[in-house]
Amino acid sequence: MGSWTIEFIQTKDGSNTLYSQRFEQYFHSVKEGALNESLYKHIVPALQHHKNKNELNILDICFGLGYNTLATIYYIKKNNINIKLNIYSPEFDTELLHSLPNFQYPKEFLEFKYIIDKISQTFRYQDKNINIEVFNGDAREYIKTLSNIHIVYQDAFSSDVNKSLWTKEYFNDIYKLLDKDAIITTYSIATPIRLSMYENNLFIYEYKNDFTNRITIAMKNKFTIEPSGYKYIDMELKKQRNSSAKPLRDLD
C-alpha cells in the first residue's frame, strides 16, 4: 500500500477517486464528481479561453490519477477539435504512477487506456498530436524548466496540507513561465490563495458553471468583455476590507 488507499471511492457522477493518507484528502471532490470536477473546473474554461489556438502547452499540477490530462484529451476528441497538445505534469508519487493501469477509470477514458499504460511504464506518451511528459519529482524545481505555458491546471492538494504549491513565491515561478494570454484554473477560492496570484500581477476572476461549485481563474490580461460565467474580483478592495488578509509565503 502506498500513501493512498487502494479502495476505489465512487464520487457523485459515478467516477472513482482515491483517498490520500499522506495528505488526508480525497484526490477529487466526492460531492461533485471526479470527472465533473476535471471537466468543468479546469478543461472547459481553459479550452474555451483558447478555442482559436492550434497548439497548446499545458501544465497539469499535479498528475495524480491523470484525470485532468485524460479529460483534456477526451474533450478535444468528443468535440472534434483539431489541436496539438503538449502536457507537462509533475508527480512525486512513483508507486501511484506505476499503479495507474489498475485504477477503474470512467467509461469516457477507456479508449485512452493505452496512454495510461504507457505513462505508468515510462512517464511519457507521444503521438503526432499529443505529447505528455510526467516528471517524477519536485514540482517546484520542475516548473523552473518550462516556458510558454498557455494553461495551468492548479489542482494540487489544498494549501492546508500542501502549502508549497500555493505560495506567492510558487506563483512567481508560475508567472515567469506563462504565455501572454495564459489562464490558470483552480478549485480554490480562498483569499490568501487569490492574493498569492494577484501579487504576482495576475488578474483574478471567479467562474461558475451549472455542474460544480465556483472556482478561481487567474490571467495575465484582463478581459475587455467578461465571458458568461466570469466575475472580476477586485483584490485591492478585498485588501481594504480585510487588512489582515495576506498571501501565503514560503517562510510563514
Confidence (pTM): 0.96
Q: What confidence score (pLDDT) does residue 64 get?
A: 97
Q: Residue 114 corresponds to which cell in the numbers above?
A: 493505452
> Where do the structural domains in the chain lie, given as residue ranges?
30-241
Q: What confidence score (pLDDT) does residue 179 get?
A: 97
| pLDDT tens over the chain, length 252 residues | 457 777 899 999 999 999 999 999 999 999 999 999 999 999 999 999 999 999 999 999 999 999 999 999 999 999 999 999 999 999 999 999 999 999 999 999 999 999 999 999 999 999 999 999 999 999 999 999 999 999 999 999 999 999 999 999 999 999 999 999 999 999 999 999 999 999 999 999 999 999 999 999 999 999 999 999 999 999 999 999 999 999 999 998
* Burial class of 167 by CB neighbour count within 10 A (0 to 12, 13 to 18, 19+): buried
Q: What confidence score (pLDDT) does residue 102 get?
A: 96
Q: Are strands 55-61 and 84-90 parallel, antiparallel or unpaired?
A: parallel
151 in Cβ contact with 57 (< 8 Å): yes
Q: What confidence score (pLDDT) does residue 86 get?
A: 98
Q: Omega before 62 cis (within 30°)?
A: yes
**Local structure of residue 226 (DSSP, 8 states):** P
The terminus-to-terminus CA distance of the chain in angstroms comes to 33
Give 171's Cβ-side CA count (13 Å radius): 29
Q: What confidence score (pLDDT) does residue 2 get?
A: 56
* Burial class of 242 by CB neighbour count within 10 A (0 to 12, 13 to 18, 19+): exposed
Q: What confidence score (pLDDT) does residue 193 get?
A: 98
Give 212's Cβ-side CA count (13 Å radius): 28
Residue 191 and residue 204: Cα distance in Å, rounded? 11
119 in Cβ contact with 97 (< 8 Å): yes
47 in Cβ contact with 76 (< 8 Å): yes
Q: What confidence score (pLDDT) does residue 1 get?
A: 43
Q: Residue 110 corresponds to which cell in the numbers above?
A: 477507456
Torsion angles phi and psi, residue 33, rounded to 5: 105, 130
Domain 30-241 class in CATH: alpha beta
DSSP readout, 56-102?
Answer: EEEEEE--TTSHHHHHHHHHHHHTT---EEEEEEE---HHHHHHGGG
